[in-house]
Amino acid sequence: MTTAGPFFLQFSALSDVGRIRKDNQDSGYAGPWLLTVCDGVGGAVRGDLASATAVQALRKLDGPPSDDLLGQVAGAIHRANDRIAELIDDDPALNGTSTTATVLLFDGAKIAVGHLGDTRAYLLRDGELRQLTHDHTFVQSLIDEGRITEEQSRTHPHRNLILKAVDGIRHEEPDLFELAVQPGDRLFVCSDGACGVLSDDKMADILRSGTTDFAAVELVRASLEAGSTDNVTCVVAEVVESAPDEASDPLLVGAAADLPRKSSSGSTRSRGFRGHRSGDTGEIDPVPALPPDLPSDVHAIPSDPVDPEAARYAPRAPARHPWLKRLLAATVVLGLLWIAGALAWSWSQRQFFVAAEDNKVTIFRGLNAQIPGIDLSSPYEISDVDLDNLSDIDAEAVSDGIEASDLEEARETVANYAALQEPPAGEESGG
């Protein structure tokens, strides 16, 4: 077991519901070993519950880590996924809920990062800001392909279409990597309510200033002032060489702090945010501490009315038996193809043309066309008109095929050629 390393974290966390949404679907946590933000997906199917459930599972990482940092992070994300799966099994109305997750686990010398979705982690080092995570979104794929710019992605109509999330069903593998830290580094984890509206220069400018508390409050305020229409959650930590004079209690913010819970004498604090509408830097209020886990009956809370958030993100969770859905879809497609084929065959059998069969002028039923391996026509009536008794021009026309609007017209064509045929040589009438 690794003991405390040479460095420590000073941290702060803040979450705000924003100016548009009525519920906070974000959850965040900051402690001496762990920083994480989860952005709930699902709106009416309780994205707030998904993010809170994930953070409650992830917060168990906040303790002196083992040597296998990445294994711990990956395991915690999978456990969060399993916990959401249990909620869905208990209450099928929650099917479709999910959450993003960005997790930073600290061991005193480095951080291990786990990531799914479009929440982000940044590193400010020597005054320069660097984005650590890579968004799992549709617009990010367009950026990667060079089809749009980062600036264009901020206003793209599908900018919030998520390709990976913790949903209790898909068991997506998170991005995992490690990064060494040094004194003075600032770590910033946020929901897209912040990074979706703030430029890198603006975020870097705020992160360079003041304490971590000041930076967290200013980042939330700046996001709201920039017109963010989403919930905003910001977690900021600074790597320092000596332990803080007074150890800070872990911070739990957003939906994880707001959901109904039992009273506890624990030391976890929650932060609320006031003052952004009047333009000041806000005020931090303590609230009662939280238990280690959400109560087991939280999932029974009635779902909220339909909210635009329900249609804002993807992916939507598949049915519990996706193979059955695919089988039904395939059956429908095959049925439609069979009906289309039957209609096409029925129509073709009402088509006629005149051509040659065994050197005889013949009426064919079907289409005057060829597809390798498929017969589109068949002889219908073979006449006694021999091609050898027709002129070269007439014989060539018959060989190429002569279209007819119906069977009667085809028979008239054959009769015309019968009248035009010449008797074989030696059979002319003598004088």
Range name among 8-17, 281-290, 377-386 with the lowest pLDDT average: 281-290
- The per-residue pLDDT for 167 is 92
Per the model's pLDDT, the better-predicted residue between 81 and 314 turns out to be: 81
Task: Please report how the helices 212-225 and 200-207 are oriented relative to each other, as an axis angle in degrees rounded to 10.
Answer: 150
**Closest to 251 measured CA to CA, from 275, 235, 232, 274:** 235
Q: What percent of the chain has pLDDT over 70?
A: 81
What would the pLDDT profile of 238-248 be if each residue is shown by its tens digit? 999 998 877 78
Q: How large is the average pLDDT for residues 368-383?
A: 83
Domains of the chain: 8-319 (3.60.40.10), 351-420 (no CATH)
> Is residue 120 over pLDDT 70?
yes
Per the model's pLDDT, the better-predicted residue between 340 and 222 turns out to be: 222
Contact 51, 83 (CB under 8 A): no
Contact 58, 189 (CB under 8 A): no
**Closest to 361 measured CA to CA, from 385, 378, 379, 380:** 385
- The per-residue pLDDT for 321 is 61
What are the φ/ψ torsions at residue 190 (nearest 5 degrees)?
Answer: -150, 160
| Residues whose CB falls within 8 Å of the CB of residue 246, separated by 6 or more in sequence, listed in order | none
What would the pLDDT profile of 339-371 be if each residue is shown by its tens digit? 887 888 788 788 999 999 988 999 998 888 877
**Closest to 257 measured CA to CA, from 268, 241, 246:** 268
Q: What is the mean pLDDT of the chain?
A: 83
- The per-residue pLDDT for 270 is 62
Q: Give, in order, the Cα–Cα distances in Å from 72 to each of 320, 425, 427.
A: 28, 100, 103
What would the pLDDT profile of 258-307 be if each residue is shown by its tens digit? 875 433 334 566 655 433 332 333 333 333 333 343 333 333 333 334 44
